Amino acid sequence: MVVYEPTLDAPEFFGSEVTHDLEAFKAGCDVIVANRWSDELADVADKVYTRDLFKRD
Query: Using one digit for the tens of pLDDT, what is the confidence trace for 9-56?
Result: 999 999 999 999 999 999 999 999 999 999 999 999 999 999 887 776
Q: What is the pTM of this model?
A: 0.82
pLDDT of residue 53: 75
Strand partners, 19: 4
pLDDT at 49: 94
- Please indicate, yes or no, if residue 56 is contained in any of the structural domains: no
Q: What span, in angstroms and rounded, lies between the C-alpha atoms of 17 and 13?
A: 7
Q: Per DSSP, what are the bridge partners of residue 34?
A: 50
Q: Are 32 and 17 in contact (CB under 8 A)?
A: no
Give CA–CA dist 12/19, Å, rounded.
Answer: 9
- The answer to whether residue 57 sits within a structural domain is no
Please state the φ and ψ torsions of residue 5, each to the nearest 5 degrees. -155, 100
Task: Select from 50, 16, 47 the least CA-distant residue to 30.
Answer: 47
Residue 55 included in any domain: no
Range of the domain at 25: 2-50
